[in-house]
Amino acid sequence: MITSFDEKIVEKAQEIVEKASSRGTILRIIGAIGIYLHIRDTPEALNFYTSTPRLSEKQTLFTDIDLVAYSKQRKDVMNFFEKELKYSFNPRLQMIFGGKRLLYMDPHDGFKVDVFFDKLEFSHDVLFGSEPGKGRLELDYPTITPTDLLLEKLQIHNINFKDIVDITALLLSHEVGERQEANVIDARYIASVLSDDWGFWYDAMENLKLVEQYAQGFLDKGVLSQRQLQTIKSRINRIREVVDATPKSKNWLKRAKDGTKKPWYREVEEYI
């Protein structure tokens, strides 16, 4: 269920990106709000997303706003939030995060706004400021692409239920292809990322297995139809096919020899 609070925070996120864009500052929405904006025009995906409790202990779908920007525009981003929007900033957290992110608080509504720069650095990296992700923020608006939203979720080592729901909704609402196009999950780009990083590849493939398992459970509970289950499975299989067919880099092949005998992911305490 979408609450009035959810609607308000989604509107605020879009408003921030639009105001920044009008001033030449590139910001894109990531995380839960980004996924919601990409699925809300697909009724079956939206119905699944809102009827499946992502956060059983909370009454709202969204708790804060997560954004990504380019580090080359750091000063512009800071001026935009601090001088124009008058958002409060915690310098102590800046020392903790270094140059990787900024954390602001909306003075009127109390929303937390988290701004990441160039990449999402959690269990694995999702890149926007360097290859292969350089320039990807301009490929969609006001969110990152559905391809990057999927990678954002697939990189999580200790994936949880809400992330499974997010991935399932994305797969319900987006065709999987081998091209960069609005509302298409680009399996070719996913393959290019995973074929150079064995650890990311391993967690992504394991997470897709989990999505399939949960999708079967959603069918048994009547949350998904048989047709929807087959759509999800076929789109997962398409991603696998493209990833499997893509040549692996020397780094991937070298790391694959050690497999899970050595740590293959970064330990983190908090995900998006």
Kindly state whether residue 271 falls inside one of the protein's structural domains: no
Structure tokens at 117: 């720069």
Q: How many domains does the chain have?
A: 1
- Average confidence score pLDDT of the chain: 93
Kindly state whether residue 268 falls inside one of the protein's structural domains: no
pLDDT band for position 95 (cuts 50, 70, 90): low
pTM of the model: 0.94
Cβ-proximal residues to 60 (8 Å cutoff; 6+ apart), any chain: 3, 5, 6
Q: What is the percent of the chain where pLDDT is above 90?
A: 83
For residues 28 and 3, the model is more confident at: 28
The average pLDDT across 173-188 equals 95
pLDDT computed for residue 61 by the predictor: 84
Kindly state whether residue 269 falls inside one of the protein's structural domains: no
SS3 116: strand
Instruction: Report whether 243 contacts 193 (CB < 8 A).
Output: no
pLDDT band for position 96 (cuts 50, 70, 90): low
Residue 94 has pLDDT above 80, yes or no: no
- What is the per-residue burial (b if ≥16 Cβ within 10 Å, else e) of 111-131? bebbbbbbbbbbbbbbbbbee
Kindly state whether residue 266 falls inside one of the protein's structural domains: no
Rounded CA separation 204/246 (Å): 15
In terms of residues, how long is the chain? 272
Kindly state whether residue 267 falls inside one of the protein's structural domains: no
Rounded CA separation 69/169 (Å): 25
The average pLDDT across 156-166 equals 96
Helix (H) or strand (E) segment spanning residue 239: helix 226-245
pLDDT computed for residue 98 by the predictor: 63
Instruction: Report whether 89 contacts 36 (CB < 8 A).
Output: no
Q: How do residues 222-251 score in pLDDT, each as one tens digit? A: 999 999 999 999 999 999 999 999 999 999
The average pLDDT across 201-213 equals 98
Rounded CA separation 85/78 (Å): 10
**Whether the bond into 142 is cis, omega within 30 of 0:** yes
Q: How do residues 5-23 score in pLDDT, each as one tens digit? A: 899 999 999 999 999 999 9
Kindly state whether residue 110 falls inside one of the protein's structural domains: yes
Structure tokens at 50: 């809102």
Helix (H) or strand (E) segment spanning residue 216: helix 198-220
Structure tokens at 237: 């299989």
Task: Find the domain containing 53 and state its range.
Answer: 4-261
pLDDT computed for residue 56 by the predictor: 52
Rounded CA separation 129/131 (Å): 7
pLDDT computed for residue 238 by the predictor: 98
pLDDT computed for residue 41 by the predictor: 95
Instruction: Report whether 73 contacts 26 (CB < 8 A).
Output: yes
Kindly state whether residue 255 falls inside one of the protein's structural domains: yes
Residue 271 has pLDDT above 60, yes or no: no
Burial-class residue 22 by CB neighbours within 10 Å (0-12, 13-18, 19+). Answer: exposed
Structure tokens at 160: 């949880």
What's the count of helices (H) and strands (E) in the chain, helices before strands?
A: 11, 9
Kindly state whether residue 244 falls inside one of the protein's structural domains: yes
- From the list 196, 177, 195, the residue with the least C-alpha distance to 187 is 177
pLDDT band for position 57 (cuts 50, 70, 90): low
The average pLDDT across 203-211 equals 98
